[in-house]
Structure 1
Amino acid sequence: MGTGWKLYYTNDEYIDERSGRCPSTDEFMYYKRLDLCFNLNSPMTINFPVIKTFCSHMSAELIRIDSSDKQQFIEFITANETIERICIQGTDKIFPPNWTFDDGTLMTFFNEDEASAEPDGGKGNIEMYTGYKWHDISDVTLHPCLPICEII
């Protein structure tokens, strides 16, 4: 207290950077509760090979949604976005008909759109669409999506 003093509030759950794995370059942010280093990017036309290369140029990968907590966090941080689709990691091309992450790790969490029987398999990729439910999508479409990259 006193002349010249300023009070700052920090939220340790959500900070802009962390030494080491989560750089402040490329606008990466760190969410402590999930140990998640991520960035939100401008919408891009869906082209999964291009989007994955875009993330890899930042030493990152397209985000893996591997828990309900991570699903809820992504819903929270994108709630004010005007884009309807979010591109996420997941493929049924490596071990069809099983869904895996890009490194071949079996996916165990899904946020299926049961009303649309999605993801139904065979198209190769996953997007969040229609109330953050997951849908199967081809490598390339004309729709835009919000790519979220993460550093593992």
Structure 2
Amino acid sequence: MTLHIYLSGEIHTDWRDQIIAGAADLDVVFSGPVTDHAASDDCGVAIMGAEAQKFWHDHKGAKLNAIRTRHGIETADIVVVRFGDQYKQWNAAFDAGYAAAMGKSLIVMHGPDHQHALKEVDAAALAVVETPQQVVDVLTYVLHGSLPDRQG
């Protein structure tokens, strides 16, 4: 069975690359948002025209990005949402809520410092992890029913 995985969340670290590399031998297909920060911020005005007010600049970009995000979440079997340490990712929280509302299997990844702030998001998740390797281990278990071999 091929699993379609949508990788949502912070774009400032290489967590996506770590998961993709770790899952190279699994029957999975990954998708995610545009991770080029400037392109994501400016896509609306670059394609549909400039805006004098920052609100409308951001509004155009958010709506255009939502086309990709909605499709990715709606077609995913599993949604992984990463909350990083550096910024508050309101969009990641929105994606987690959207995925939960759609009944998607949700894996949330964040450090212990976010446990309290994300308690409602964590409660909606089927797995809460701290590392990309743990995401790979979850996917391996789901696909093969095997536990990680950490001996040695």
Q: Answer whether TM exceeds 0.5 for this pair.
A: no
Task: Indicate the structure whose relative CO is greater, using CA pairs within 8 Å and at least 6 residues apart.
Answer: 1
Larger Rg: 1
TM-score (norm 2): 0.29
User: Which is richer in helix?
Assistant: 2
More strand by share: 1
